[in-house]
Amino acid sequence: MPLIQIQNLTKTFDLPGRKVEVLRDIDLDIKEGEYLLIFGPSGCGKTTLLNLILGLETPTSGKLKIKDVNTAKLTPQERTAFRYKNFSTVYQNSIWLKSLNVLENVALPLYLGGMSESEAKDKAKEALKLAHTAEFELSRPNELSSGEQQRVSLARAMVTDAQIIIADEPTGNLDSKAGHELMKTLDHLHNLGKTIILVTHNLSYLVHADTKIAMKDGQIIGRFTENALPHNIKEMLEEE
Amino acid sequence: MKFILLLKLVLRNMLSRKLRFAFTLLASAIAVGSIIFLFSLGYGLESISTEQLVKSDALSQIEATSSKPTDTKLSDEMISQIKSIGEVDSVASSTSLAGKITIGDKTLDNPFYAVSNNYFAMSSIELSAGSFPSQQDKNYILISDKAALAFGIKSQDIVGQELQYQLIVPPVLGGSDTSKKDFTGTVIGTISDSGSAYAYVQDADAVSAGAVSRSILKIKSTNKNDIPALRKKVEDMGLKTSYVGDTLEQMNKFFNYFRMILAALGAIGVIIAILGMFNTLTVSLMERVREVSLLKILGSDDKTIFWMFALESLIFGFLGFVSGIVLFLISKSIIMGLFSRLAERLNNEMVNIFNTPTTLMVIAFIATLTLAFLTGLFPARRALRVNPLDVQKFE
């Protein structure tokens, strides 16, 4: 059974005086341990799809099941708990609790889960080592470069050992070298059996993912496994 | 999240903005300190005022005077009738007379009070020198410091001296126009009063001079709860009664209003402190919207988010209370220090104008924490409504 099952998923936002259909008839299965890359122009619904998977939004219609749980039917508190247990996230702009140092920020998800401070810090140290950022333990996050912050962000994503890692444009603010380093870490996590869902504009990262899907205007317009962008999909993306 | 970790997180966040923290705390401290200062001052002044009233078992006795002195005399017979009332423990009398004191070749007019020997035990008279008379003492006189000074003699030096005095009994007390009698007496003590000149002599002297009625009776009750019944019985005998409890009641009412006014003044400081804390907490929330969104995405439950802000307000309240107490103690010691110097210079006894009952502190503590919590309630509940998707707003 797929880890994530999406069938006929639609998401419409009610705005004053109009309805905006952001996603339409999305069908998608993601297997456990799969590395999925989603790309498409700005505003095509990639982030909304991620938010629905994370349980931060609920679908207008359709089915969304994660580990056979229909998350749309959970209460907000249940969705929060489900998200904590099953997901880790990395965003384009790292967000920190400014009053905590790097180690404490990485340990934060474990604190939220009720773990003791010493145990949480031990696990956080391991995660920082894996992300090659152990030397920044006692620094404040805002003292680090963008690349270093993103690697620490990834360490925070690893610390809870969640099965699914969601990365929304994690290399968006990084130079190519830092971006490359980050992608290597994601590869490593994939090799450890994690399910990775990556949203990016950078088509040079196609080589990292098992499955790639292209989105446009709220729909999936193509699905492929090759490392290069198929011609037909390229044309569809370029169409007005 | 474990409570101790949450507390550490909250404290770290509060201390990350040191100046803002300090000013908010200062406002709370001033509010708490000023409320405790004003209430302590109110209670202190009340204590000083009522202290004199409740000395010498004053709450267990009434005073009786004749409502119609020409008809109803406070005679020996009347005194016996009063003594036979069940609620009466003892009766003392005082007769106010005019007179003169002569020491050597100097004579001065002087008011006299001819009292029964048990009168002093039922009054709050204090001596500056000498002693009160015993039941057996006769031919004694006690004069006030002022009276002694009028003769140019110090209080300590006049004790033991013999002097002559004349008592004049007015018609209302049974005397006639010529009711005067001379006496010789030994000064056995001086009354601590340098404001008025007067003297106390024994009741027998007034009777000897022709007095058939007393001016005032002090009637001590067996139990202060029997005072109302006692008053009724004495008033039924045609006498007027007065009771220090009536004055005390009036004073309590006055001080209650006084404290309300002080509370209103203190409330102004409290309102300012609350507004300051509310502003700090709301700004803190607005600055941390993305942090709160992140916490929600990372899986924080509503309880953690709520208490992140509610704890901040409670900590402000607690630290504000402690700092307020410190401010109060400092200001109290400064003021009492100044009073002490003033008292020393004027050779007066030092008076403590502050009284801080434990209940005041307990109530202030509970009120401070409650107000602090209520102030933090709005930002805390607002934080619960922060959309986790706000984390993406600055992407």
What are the pLDDT digits (tens) for B214-225?
999 999 999 888
Query: Are the C-beta atoms of residues B165 and B101 closer than 8 Å to each other?
Result: yes
Mean pLDDT across the stretch B237-245? 87
Which of A47, A98, A111 has the CB atom closest to B392's CB atom? A47
Interface of A with B in 145-174 (CB under 8 A): 168-169, 172
Architecture of the CATH domain A4-238: 3-Layer(aba) Sandwich (3.40)
* pLDDT for residue B53 is more than 70: no
Quick one: what percent of chain B has pLDDT higher than 70? 94
Which of A51, A112, A172 has the CB atom closest to B299's CB atom? A112
Instruction: Supply the pLDDT for residue B252.
Output: 78
Pick from A84, A95, A110 the residue to mutate for testing the B interface (most B CBs within 10 Å).
A95
Distances (CA, A) of B324 to A62, A153, B373, B381: 60, 43, 17, 28
Residue B318 pLDDT grade (very low, low, confident, very high; cuts 50, 70, 90):
very high
Which of A89, A113, A117 has the CB atom closest to B297's CB atom? A89
Instruction: Supply the pLDDT for residue B66.
Output: 85
Closest CA to B114 of B67, B59, B175, B155: B175
* pLDDT for residue B305 is more than 60: yes
Mean pLDDT across the stretch A198-213? 90
Mean pLDDT across the stretch B277-285? 88
* pLDDT for residue A188 is more than 60: yes
Instruction: Supply the pLDDT for residue B296.
Output: 87
- Averaged pLDDT of chain B: 87
ipTM of the prediction: 0.85
Among the residue ranges A82-86, A175-179, A209-213, the one predicted with the least confidence is A175-179
Question: Residue B177 and residue A97: Cα distance in Å, rounded?
Answer: 99
Q: Specify the higher pLDDT residue, B266 or A12.
A: A12
Residue B392 pLDDT grade (very low, low, confident, very high; cuts 50, 70, 90):
low
A138 CB burial (10 A radius; 0-12, 13-18, 19+): exposed
What are the pLDDT digits (tens) for A79-115?
988 999 999 999 888 888 888 999 999 999 999 988 9
Provide the 10 A C-beta neighbour count for residue A176: 10
Interface of A with B in 180-239 (CB under 8 A): none
Instruction: Supply the pLDDT for residue A43.
Output: 87
Rounded to the nearest angstrom, the minimum Cα separation between A87 and chain B is 8
Instruction: Supply the pLDDT for residue B101.
Output: 94
* pLDDT for residue B342 is more than 70: yes
Mean pLDDT across the stretch A166-177? 87
* pLDDT for residue B45 is more than 90: no
* pLDDT for residue B161 is more than 60: yes
Residues with Cβ within 8 Å of residue A5, at least 6 apart in sequence: A29, A63, A64, A65, A66, A68
Mean pLDDT across the stretch B75-101? 92
Instruction: Supply the pLDDT for residue B281.
Output: 87
For residue A57, which residues of chain B lie inside 8 Å, CB to CB?
389
* pLDDT for residue B241 is more than 70: yes
Under DSSP, is residue B259 helix (H, G, I), strand (E, B) or coil?
helix
* pLDDT for residue B175 is more than 90: no
* pLDDT for residue B51 is more than 90: no
- Averaged pLDDT of chain A: 90
* pLDDT for residue A204 is more than 90: no
By CA distance, what is A57's nearest residue in B?
Answer: B389
Residue A8 pLDDT grade (very low, low, confident, very high; cuts 50, 70, 90):
very high
B349 CB burial (10 A radius; 0-12, 13-18, 19+): exposed
* pLDDT for residue B390 is more than 80: no
Distances (CA, A) of B179 to A139, B182, B288: 103, 10, 95
Instruction: Supply the pLDDT for residue B70.
Output: 65
Mean pLDDT across the stretch B347-369? 85
For residue B16, which residues of chain A lie inside 8 Å, CB to CB?
98-99
* pLDDT for residue B267 is more than 50: yes
Which of A51, A97, A111 has the CB atom closest to B389's CB atom? A51
For residue A98, which residues of chain B lie inside 8 Å, CB to CB?
16, 291
Query: Are the C-beta atoms of residues B69 and B238 closer than 8 Å to each other?
Result: no
Provide the 10 A C-beta neighbour count for residue B111: 14
Is the pTM of the predicted complex or chain greater than 0.90? no
Instruction: Supply the pLDDT for residue B395.
Output: 43
Mean pLDDT across the stretch B313-332? 94
Residue A81 contacts B where some CB pair is shorter than 8 Å: yes
For residue A112, which residues of chain B lie inside 8 Å, CB to CB?
1, 295, 298-301, 304
A142 CB burial (10 A radius; 0-12, 13-18, 19+): exposed
